[in-house]
Amino acid sequence: MPFDQYPTYLGTDLGMNWSVDKTIFKLWSPAAQAVKLRLYSNGSTGKAIQTIDLQKKDNGVWEATLSGNQKGKYYTVQVQQGGKWLAETPDAYAKAVGLNGKRGMILDLTETNPTGWATDKRPIQKQFTDIILYELHIRDLSINPNSGIKNAGKFLGLTETGTKNTKGLSTGLDHIKALGVTHVHLLPAFDYRHTSVDESKLDQPQYNWGYDPEHYNVPEGSYSTNPSDGAVRIHEFKQAIKTLHENGIRVVMDVVYNHTGATEGSVFNQTVPGYYYRQNADGSYSNASGCGNETASERTMVRKYIIESMKYWAQEYHIDGFRVDLMGIHDIETMNQASAALHAIDPTIYIYGEGWTAGSSPLPDSLRATKANTFKLNQVAAFSDDLRDALKGSVFNHTEKGFINGRTGLEESIKFGITASVQHPQVDYSKVNYSKAPWAKEPYQTITYAECHDNHTLWDRLTLSCPDASEEDRIKMQKLAMTIVLTSQGVPFLHAGMEMLRTKNGVENSFNSPDEINRFDWDRKTKYLAFNDYVRQLIQLRKNHPAFRMPTADMIRRNIKFLETKDPNLIVYQIGLRANNDNWTRIVVIYNGNTEEKFVTLPKGGTYNIVLDGTQIVETGIKTLISPKVGVPGMSAMILVE
If the CB atoms of residues 221 and 321 are measured against Ca ion, the closer one turns out to be: 221
Please pick, among 191, 320, 325, 331, the residue that the annotation labels catalytic: 325
At its nearest, how many Å lie between Ca ion and the CB of residue 227?
Answer: 7
Which range in 188-196, 462-470, 601-609, 620-628 contacts Ca ion by CB under 5 A?
A: 188-196
CA distances from 164 to 128, 140, 160, 171 (A): 32, 15, 11, 5
At its nearest, how many Å lie between Ca ion and the CB of residue 215?
Answer: 8
At its nearest, how many Å lie between Ca ion and the CB of residue 554?
Answer: 46
Answer for the pair 219, 237: CB distance below 8 angstroms, yes or no. yes
If the CB atoms of residues 309 and 483 are measured against Ca ion, the closer one turns out to be: 309
Q: Report the candidate in 299, 283, 301, 279 with the shortest Cα–Cα distance to residue 60.
A: 301
At its nearest, how many Å lie between Ca ion and the CB of residue 210?
Answer: 8
- Burial zone of 638 (CB within 10 Å; 0-12 exposed, 13-18 middle, 19+ buried): buried
At its nearest, how many Å lie between Ca ion and the CB of residue 225?
Answer: 14
Give alpha helix (H) positions in 317-410: 332-345, 385-392
Which range in 169-177, 216-224, 557-565, 596-604 contacts Ca ion by CB under 5 A?
A: 216-224
CA dist 565 and 572 (Å) reads: 7
Which range in 72-80, 131-139, 217-225, 294-302 contacts Ca ion by CB under 5 A?
A: 217-225
CA distances from 315 to 308, 309, 311, 319, 345 (A): 10, 10, 6, 7, 8
Q: Report the candidate in 584, 580, 600 with the shortest Cα–Cα distance to residue 592.
A: 600
If the CB atoms of residues 191 and 582 are measured against Ca ion, the closer one turns out to be: 191
Q: Report the candidate in 372, 509, 538 with the shortest Cα–Cα distance to residue 451.
A: 509
Which range in 48-56, 187-195, 502-510, 554-562 contacts Ca ion by CB under 5 A?
A: 187-195
At its nearest, how many Å lie between Ca ion and the CB of residue 362?
Answer: 30
If the CB atoms of residues 147 and 208 are measured against Ca ion, the closer one turns out to be: 208
Which range in 218-226, 344-352, 364-372, 521-529 contacts Ca ion by CB under 5 A?
A: 218-226
At its nearest, how many Å lie between Ca ion and the CB of residue 184?
Answer: 21
Q: Kindly identify the residues of this chain, within the stretch 219-278, that bind Ca ion according to CB under 5 A.
A: 221
The alpha carbons of the chain give a radius of gyration, in whole angstroms, of 26
From its phi and psi, is residue 173 left (phi > 0), alpha (psi between -120 and 50) or beta? alpha
Please pick, among 294, 354, 411, 613, the residue that the annotation labels catalytic: 354
CA dihedral sign of residues 219, 222, 225, 226: positive
> Any residues with CB less than 8 A from the CB of 625 and at least 6 apart, and which?
602, 607, 608, 609, 610, 640
- Burial zone of 566 (CB within 10 Å; 0-12 exposed, 13-18 middle, 19+ buried): exposed
If the CB atoms of residues 255 and 547 are measured against Ca ion, the closer one turns out to be: 255
If the CB atoms of residues 45 and 426 are measured against Ca ion, the closer one turns out to be: 45
In the chain, the amino acid numbered 79 is V
Half-sphere exposure of 50 (CA within 13 A, CB side): 12
DSSP string, 103-118: SEE---GGGGPPTTGG
If the CB atoms of residues 153 and 221 are measured against Ca ion, the closer one turns out to be: 221
Which range in 11-19, 102-110, 184-192, 574-582 contacts Ca ion by CB under 5 A?
A: 184-192
Phi and psi torsions of 56, nearest 5°: -75, 130
Which range in 214-222, 369-377, 403-411, 541-549 contacts Ca ion by CB under 5 A?
A: 214-222
DSSP state of 219: E
Among 191, 331, 386, 389, binds Ca ion (CB under 5 A): 191
CA dist 382 and 420 (Å) reads: 11
At its nearest, how many Å lie between Ca ion and the CB of residue 358?
Answer: 22
Going by DSSP bridges, is the β-strand pair 104-105/55-56 parallel, antiparallel, or unpaired? unpaired
Q: Which helix (H) or strand (E) holds 495?
A: strand 491-495
At its nearest, how many Å lie between Ca ion and the CB of residue 214?
Answer: 6
CA angle, 599 as apex, 598 and 605 as ends, to 5°?
A: 145
Q: How many residues bind Ca ion (CB under 5 A)?
A: 2
CA dist 309 and 303 (Å) reads: 10
Q: Report the candidate in 280, 271, 324, 329 with the shortest Cα–Cα distance to residue 301.
A: 271
Q: Is 111 a catalytic residue?
A: no
Q: Is 554 a catalytic residue?
A: no
If the CB atoms of residues 191 and 331 are measured against Ca ion, the closer one turns out to be: 191
At its nearest, how many Å lie between Ca ion and the CB of residue 107?
Answer: 17
CA dist 608 and 627 (Å) reads: 9
If the CB atoms of residues 215 and 330 are measured against Ca ion, the closer one turns out to be: 215
Is 389 among the residues that bind Ca ion (CB under 5 A)? no
If the CB atoms of residues 255 and 458 are measured against Ca ion, the closer one turns out to be: 255
Q: How many CB atoms lie within 10 A of CB 548?
A: 24
CA distances from 215 to 38, 311, 320, 472 (A): 19, 15, 20, 46
Query: Cβ-closest residue to Ca ion?
Result: 191
At its nearest, how many Å lie between Ca ion and the CB of residue 138?
Answer: 13
Which range in 189-197, 268-276, 284-292, 390-398 contacts Ca ion by CB under 5 A?
A: 189-197
If the CB atoms of residues 208 and 374 are measured against Ca ion, the closer one turns out to be: 208
Query: 3-state DSSP: the chain helix, strand, coil percent, rounded to 5?
Result: 30, 20, 50
| Catalytic (active-site) positions | 325, 354
Q: Which residues contact Ca ion by CB under 5 A?
A: 191, 221
